[in-house]
Chain A
């Protein structure tokens, strides 16, 4: 039994049958991280001692025959923009290099309640802005399938950690594709929940009306288990919904897709889509049809402008959310300054990276008097239109299918100096956030160069159950989730 290849389901079984202890399990993962993360660069903070202590407590519970919770003993990696009490939470920024929150994010509390063992904090693009994890102040994370490629972003550390077998599950955050795109690049499953399903309390804000925390796992079932543990109404987050939704994600997950109507927007196959990705998606469409789903192409003419609306709205919110980093109370502070203005200007000039500055400037500009109507207001109108287009589409279809990313994982450094090209990597994912919908990215094959290809399924609001059921069926049919990259090691 290769521990690093185990799914959550297998880990639970192993612990219950006492074939392995939680301490052995966590210890094995930690050793693997220590041995191999030098190559991948996923982790920013490793919580070795705390994780082993937590594992021992799980073992004690097992000894006493007590319930260890749905994630009992399961190691989890946390994206470094999710606050953990007493643990550095940096957003991969110089600005928060030494920031230690005095509180746990709600999802952290929920993970602990579910028995999960938090093993460390993982790398990301600074303040979750980017699609390659190259914007981290600390280090670049590599794609475990090909160490010369990026893992995607901004949750690149989370996806790489799961792909490399460092943890069976990681939490990421998704503002415009930051869970799904790295999940696709790393051959893992990543789910962005419906806006409001998972509490944002303790998630360091980027675009508040778009941000959602979600799980990245090896399999669809694990993804369902992870989502179940972190979702739910939170009185600390006014945008978290008290909606009564079907949360028994696992109950009918094996029931197949027979009778599901799946729509595929024609626009997804236009210029700019990698041919190999296009072929893999079409192959999956055929397989779904073969399984009894009704698959149909239709027109959803919103893709291009969605990208502009997304960058305007997310940057506007970011310019305000990131204004608090002024060097007054916490975080980085410039060394010499003569007055308050100079303190702010120098602190922010020295503390933020280029991509963050670019978005703050863009966001400040679109909210400025005289430009507000032409940019922000127009983008908000467009957002309404996108919501309407999806609403209409979901009157006809159960799910919408397409590629997660138009391109395969690219080489480290290839796009870092071309922000516009980098932004295009989000073209299939951003509209989902603008509409607040749930979407899952799952592996659907490999390129000739052995790079993972991701497929995205989008559901209507709060239809995660259906989404997971369809993804599970396709995953079983394609049988692509069983591999782990070798990382140059002898198996």
Chain B
């Protein structure tokens, strides 16, 4: 009996707005605890929410990018529950009339492309953060995140494996980043994912009982948790104990690498949704949707096609370059400053991304990298010297030429100067010359090495090699 896995995702994405969804507080990450708060976002009695228009605009943008219908009339609702990080004891969200419904995106997994349905996108406010201090009898609350705008994206149960789930998340992240809807930083919590998973016999029409998994903080954890839960459910089925799978919410414990039951269906909250009386329904005009559609930038898949045609790059390099819009834009800036595309791509995919494992921002300006590439191209410096210069550029605003001068890294490219050095090297290494003439090709490498040693690495290796071969004829 064959079993298949059914997965649907719920993704919370922080929108890239300057101010919060219902007040004018800043949404900036990393402020001092409770610095970005006001009477409205901490829900003091008597205060009222006013919807930030930018939130509606970004949600429309997301809906457009994910091929959804935009609902011209949608409304907000209150989701009621008690928790210390929720100052009004209700979250303003959207229940039965969300802003977007019925979309899809295309994903690639296991060599196949597949359409994944988007059920809905709705707007809502984020909650605060609890800080539990070890060995203290109290809990601290930081309300900076309270009222930060979110969209929740719910997929159809169209995913069939953890690989597909991760492929979906990567595709989604890329779209949202490219469209500048969110910075999608999972480690800062600006993209959060919950998963619903069930298994059923292949060919079966109905779905079996599903389990919700929360606390998935990276793509890796998503894959691990889903595989683990898939195995648990499949084993129960294969054992004829499929009925033991209960509808529940399980929390992924990344440290222990397993899921733990959080609450069963019976303990599920009754959120007592009802229409938010403090906000009138959101009405959207056709013109606004059209205007936003026009501002939608080129998405990753389109960019990949263009990079292949325009810059003749290979698929592997393109994948790396377009993995983030920031990097893709950076690449195009370097090229526009005169660098050869393949060369620019190499520097970015190898050197730049190596140092970016430690930093979030691009540490070298496009002008600096373009300047460096030009110096190599002209033969002013060697490739190895260029790497040295690059490492300094990471922490410096200086012009690459200045660094080359300061460090004395210019290559010796003048034939006269090189001939003199090569003659002396040949005189001192007659054995190697003898070996070469006896057919030992390796000796040439030794001789080049000696030339480099004499010039402290400054000899232009190509020119040196030419002269050397000429002299050994």
Contact = CB atoms under 8 A, between A and B. Distances in A.
B46 A101 contact: yes
Interface stretch (A231-239, A442-450, A470-478): A231-239
B272 A208 contact: no
Of B46, B78, B80, B87, chain A has the most CB atoms within 10 Å of the CB of: B46
Interface stretch (A34-42, A142-150, A364-372): A364-372
A101 B50 CA distance: 19
A328 to B, nearest CB: 5
Interface in A73-130: 82-83, 89, 91, 96, 99, 101-103, 105
A27 B39 CA distance: 34
A202 B51 CA distance: 17
Given A201-B47, A205-B46, 6 more contacts: A83-B46, A99-B45, A101-B39, A207-B277, A317-B277, A330-B44
A340 B273 CA distance: 23
Nearest to B40: A236
B90 A101 contact: no
Contact of B46 (A203, A238, A319, A367): A203
B48 interface: yes
B72 interface: no
Interface of A: 82-83, 89, 91, 96, 99, 101-103, 105, 200-205, 207-209, 235-239, 316-317, 319-320, 323-324, 326, 328-330, 340-341, 344, 364, 367-369, 372, 376
Interface string B43-60: 111111111000000000
B272 A364 contact: yes
A328 B84 contact: yes
Interface in B97-127: none
A453 B465 CA distance: 113
Given A239-B280, A340-B84, A364-B272, A328 B141 contact: yes
B362 interface: no
A169 to B, nearest CB: 21
Nearest to A235: B50
Closest 3 CB pairs of A and B: A323-B89, A367-B272, A209-B277
B88 A238 contact: no
Contacts of A101: 39, 44-46
B47 A324 contact: no
A208 B42 contact: no
Given A237-B48, A324-B45, A344-B82, A208 B274 contact: no
B45 A201 contact: no
B278 interface: yes
Nearest to B84: A328
B44 A376 contact: no
Contacts of A341: 82
Contact of B78 (A204, A320, A368, A376): A320
Given A201-B48, A204-B45, A344-B82, A324 B87 contact: yes
A89 B141 CA distance: 25
Interface of B: 39, 42-51, 78, 80, 82-84, 87-90, 139, 141, 270, 272-274, 277-280
A320 B280 contact: no
A320 B274 contact: yes
Given A208-B278, A239-B280, A329 B42 contact: yes
B316 to A, nearest CB: 51
Contacts of B50: 235-238
Contact of B279 (A83, A205, A236, A238): A238
Given A323-B90, A367-B80, A201 B46 contact: yes
A368 B43 contact: no
Contacts of A236: 48, 50
B395 to A, nearest CB: 45
B229 to A, nearest CB: 27
A367 B277 CA distance: 14
A122 to B, nearest CB: 17
Contacts of A208: 277-278
Q: Which secondary structure dominates chain A's binding surface?
A: loop
Contacts of B39: 101-103
Nearest to B43: A324
Contact of A83 (B45, B51, B89): B45
A207 B139 CA distance: 32
Contacts of A209: 277
A323 B271 CA distance: 12
Contacts of A203: 46
A369 B273 CA distance: 9
A324 B146 CA distance: 14
A354 to B, nearest CB: 21
Contacts of B87: 324, 328-329
A204 B46 contact: yes
11 contacts: A82-B46, A96-B45, A203-B46, A236-B50, A238-B49, A239-B48, A316-B274, A320-B274, A328-B84, A328-B87, A372-B274
B49 to A, nearest CB: 7
A238 B84 contact: no
Contacts of B48: 200-201, 236-239
B277 A324 contact: no
Nearest to B143: A329
Contact of A205 (B42, B45, B272): B45
Contacts of B272: 319-320, 364, 367-369, 372
Contacts of B277: 207-209, 239, 317
B90 A238 contact: no
A376 B274 contact: yes
Nearest to A201: B48
A328 B87 CA distance: 8
B120 to A, nearest CB: 20
A209 B48 CA distance: 12
Contacts of B44: 101-103, 330
B278 A239 contact: yes
